[in-house]
Amino acid sequence: MKALEGVRILDFTHVQSGPTCTQLLAWFGADVIKVERPGVGDITRTQLRDLPDVDSLYFTMLNSNKRSITLDTKSEAGKAILEKLIKACDVLVENFAPGAIDRMGFPWEKIQALNPRMIYASIKGFGPGPYEDCKVYENVAQCTGGSASTTGFDDGPPLVTGSQIGDTGTGLNLGLGIVTALYHRERSGRGQRVLAAMQDGVLNLARVKLRDQQRLQHGPLKEYPQYPNGSFTDECPRAGNASGGGQPGWAVKTKGGGANDYIYVIIQPQAWAEYMRLCGREELIDDPEWATPEARLPKLEQCFALIEEWTMTKEKFEVMELLNERNVPCGPILSMKELAEEPSLRATGTVVEVDHPTRGKYLTVGQPIKLSDSPAEVGPSPLLGEHTKEILGEVLGLTEDEIEATWASGALGQRASAAAE
Ligand code: COA
């Protein structure tokens, strides 16, 4: 039995943040029913397409293991179906612009009245306050959550990261909120609202920078590259590739000179001797000018330059092997190409090849959280409206005639949108 088998999710999510949440829940075994606008569907179906007339990788990689129903929730017949779906489901998940579900005619009070056990989970850009009505995308959240102001080099502009910490990061938070609310419902019998704001999610991930903001009041941040020669203001600066933790780290070049021929090295106190032996600089192991973390702090740049002289003579994987043999933490900079081809990630199901009915084979990132008793089987994403009839019949118990009447009302869109049935 899958961990979330029997949990039915009414999935009003679109773009990235919400879909990542419901995809994770689907992999845990929930029945995720994605409601999409007839004829249009989730906008990502057609965004960044690499192949004509097939759902984009953007969509397929965020919506696997779900079922799709097309429903115009603004039409009268559509609203009647939506009421039935609310009664039949355990969780409603949405990440529309603020107020969209209310404008459809389904404020929280009405949802609660229809189904007091329902958990109503939302992702919004901001929590309550001056910006609560704003629309937000990934990079807006990275900028407003403290990530961009603390990412990049001191002499450069703020940078957004390649990781989708605003969207996928907040999707994870919402997933945890939903599962927690389900657990609470087991004991209280009641559903509740769950809100995950993207600004909050990014700030939570940038926690160490709020730590550093407060440390600044008591002197310079000595592990930052600005120390000792640069200057600090009263705002937490960008730290380049400096480690966010207590042990100094930096990305140094390796042999090859390619864009990703780098390795991230960390100088734990006990690792200094190992580095210096590998670098052929044994005389610096006990030299009081270099031997202790305190002595090295004002000259971290020189420490990493010494190490880089050595790493540039070796491939990054060779450096990794040599350092790991000596119990020294490090991480080669892996490109997406290298990750896509990495056999160990295929073996664990972290990178999965999926066969899609119209696209063919493609790679996706599978379930990153592994449960020993509920392994994820990653399937394809649904075609637009692929399960419309199935959901009306099997989930809502509509008869053939009732389904016909609903088609005739126009609430399900053109029959062609359910061509896959
Ligand atoms: N039938 C009828 N109408 C539907 C529908 C359906 N099945 N599904 C959606 N719609 C309507 C909604 O009711 C809404 O209409 P309204 O504006 O008249 O109320 C509209 O489609 C969707 O609106 P919106 O969410 O504003 O889409 P958008 O493309 O303009 O904005 C975002 C996209 C992401 C900026 C916005 O949804 C948002 O800020 N979401 C919250 C934060 C978030 O998750 N951001 C990250 C996304 S990766």
Name the closest-CA residue to atom 38, ligand 1. Answer: 97
Of 47, 135, 174, the residue with max ligand 1 atoms within 8 A of its CB, to mutate for a pocket test, comes to 135
Nearest CA to ligand 1 atom 5: 37
Ligand 1 atom 9: the closest Cα is on which residue?
37
Instruction: Return the pLDDT at 13.
Output: 98
**H or E, element range at 25:** helix 17-27
Beta-carbon contacts of residue 326 (< 8 Å; ≥ 6 apart)? 271, 274, 278
Say whether 126 sits in a helix, a strand or coil.
coil
* Residue nearest (by alpha carbon) to ligand 1 atom 13: 100
CB burial of residue 77 (10 Å; 0-12, 13-18, 19+):
middle
Distance 276 CA to ligand 1 centre (A): 57
pTM given for the model: 0.96
Q: What are phi and psi of 26, to 5 degrees?
A: -65, -40
pLDDT value of residue 414: 84
Q: Distances in Å between the alpha carbon of 420 and those of 51, 77, 109, 132, 417?
A: 19, 23, 36, 39, 8
Is 35 within 8 Å of 81 (Cβ atoms)? no
User: Which position has the token pair 């005639």?
Assistant: 401
Residue 53 region, left (φ>0) first, then alpha (ψ -120 to 50), else beta?
Answer: left
Q: What is the predicted pLDDT for the residue at 420? A: 44
DSSP 8-state symbol, 96: P
The ligand 1 atom nearest the CA atom of 43: 29
Question: Domain map of the chain by residue range?
Answer: 8-204+341-420, 241-253+262-332
Distance 100 CA to ligand 1 centre (A): 7
Question: Nearest 5°: phi and psi at 295?
Answer: -65, -35
Catalytic residues: 167
State the pLDDT at residue 419: 44
Residue nearest to atom 7 of ligand 1 (CA): 37
Ligand 1 pocket test, candidate residues 48, 63, 81, 96, most atoms within 8 A of CB: 96
pLDDT of residue 416: 52
CA angle 324, 314, 333 (to 5 degrees): 65
What topology is assigned to 8-204+341-420 in CATH? Answer: Rossmann fold (3.40.50)
**Ligand 1 centre from 134 Cα, in Å?**
12
Task: Ligand 1, residue 16: give the atom nearest the CA.
Answer: 48
> What parts of the chain have a pLDDT lower than 70?
416-421
Q: What is the pLDDT of residue 244?
A: 85
pLDDT of the residue at 245:
87
For 322, the enclosing helix (H) or strand (E) is helix 316-325
Tell me, in angstroms, the distance from the centre of ligand 1 to residue 287's CA.
Answer: 63
- Note the pLDDT tens digit of each residue in 82-98: 999 999 999 999 999 99
Q: Residue 97 C-alpha to ligand 1 middle, in angstroms?
A: 5
Task: State the pLDDT at residue 415.
Answer: 75
Domain 241-253+262-332: CATH superfamily is formyl-coa transferase, domain 3 (3.30.1540.10)
365 and 19 in contact (C-beta within 8 Å)?
no
Instruction: Count Cβ atoms below 10 Å from residue 56 Cβ, excluding itself.
Output: 19
Taking CB atoms and a 6 Å cutoff, what residues make up the pocket around ligand 1?
15-18, 35-37, 71-74, 95-97, 100, 103-104, 123-125, 135-137, 167
Decide: 252 and 311 in contact? Cβ < 8 Å: yes
